[in-house]
Amino acid sequence: MNSPNLPPGESGPEGPEPPPDDVLAGEFVLGVLDTVQYRAAQARVESDHAFAQRVAEWERRLGPWLADIEPVKAPEQVWGRICARLGWNEGASAPSGFWQSLGFWRAATVLSTVVAVAVIAWTLQIAHPPEPGAQPVTPLSHDDGTPGWLASVDSSRGTVLMVPVPSAPDSQGRVTELWLIPAGKAPRSLGLVSINKSYTVTVPEDVRAALVAGSVLAVTLEPATGVPHAAPSGPIIAKGVI
């Protein structure tokens, strides 16, 4: 257990206490905060320069992990069962028994949160300065603060690796389109992004200069025809500032 009376950074019976703002910044980047906590942390990023620097440091620490992980396709029968159980694919049939147990999925959700918090604690103890060339991670969040995609921007190569949190297709048949919005300028379409698979987007050369801090990445729902569109027409479902 932590020792709440110790000043941040001082040692207790079980080792040094991490600064609370470091823990909060790490949880913000990982997306494990609830809606109220997330919005409060997001407000601090915009108003508290020191806290924003802590968030940026966590993005640099965790960015290489995202970039180094190669997507692995789940076996079709496993993926079909998962989709059916979560309601992502009504046409798939889920078998009875263990995999269909609501208790199992609730336990898995709790476990994933515990693992995320454990990663924060572990990284606080052993994290090293980021290697040159490490790319920051930008969460693209829904209005309620939950992450929809994680974007790893490589400005030197002009690419953006988009990693989605799997979601159901739009009921109206619209598709998810990614936009790059430079500060004070009009949005520019970067094409379609997947709602269930990692995908690397190649940014057109004439807008690569906008892959800088302060620009916005946003995902909207658009008609399936005519991509890339000249301008967004549908609702923004996720966005994040690089």
What are the pLDDT digits (tens) for 5-52? 333 444 444 445 556 888 888 888 887 787 788 888 888 888 888 898
Among residues 186, 134, 138, which one has the least CA distance to residue 161? Answer: 138
Torsion angle, alpha carbons of 18, 22, 23, 24, to 10: 150
d(CA 60, CA 131): 9
Tell me the CATH number for domain 137-241: 2.60.40
Please report, for the chain, the start and end positions of each structural domain, with discontinuous segments joined by +: 11-69+110-126, 137-241
Instruction: Read off the pLDDT of residues 129-159 as tens digits, 9 standing for 90 and up.
Output: 444 444 567 889 888 888 888 888 888 889 9
pLDDT band at 120 (very low <50, low <70, confident <90, very high): very low
CB 149 within 8 Å of CB 163: yes
Is pTM beyond 0.75? Reply is no
Other Cβ atoms closer than 10 A to 90: 8
- Spell out the long-range contacts of 126-131 with Cβ–Cβ below 8 A and sequence spacing 24 or more: 127/61, 130/60, 130/61, 130/63, 130/64, 131/64
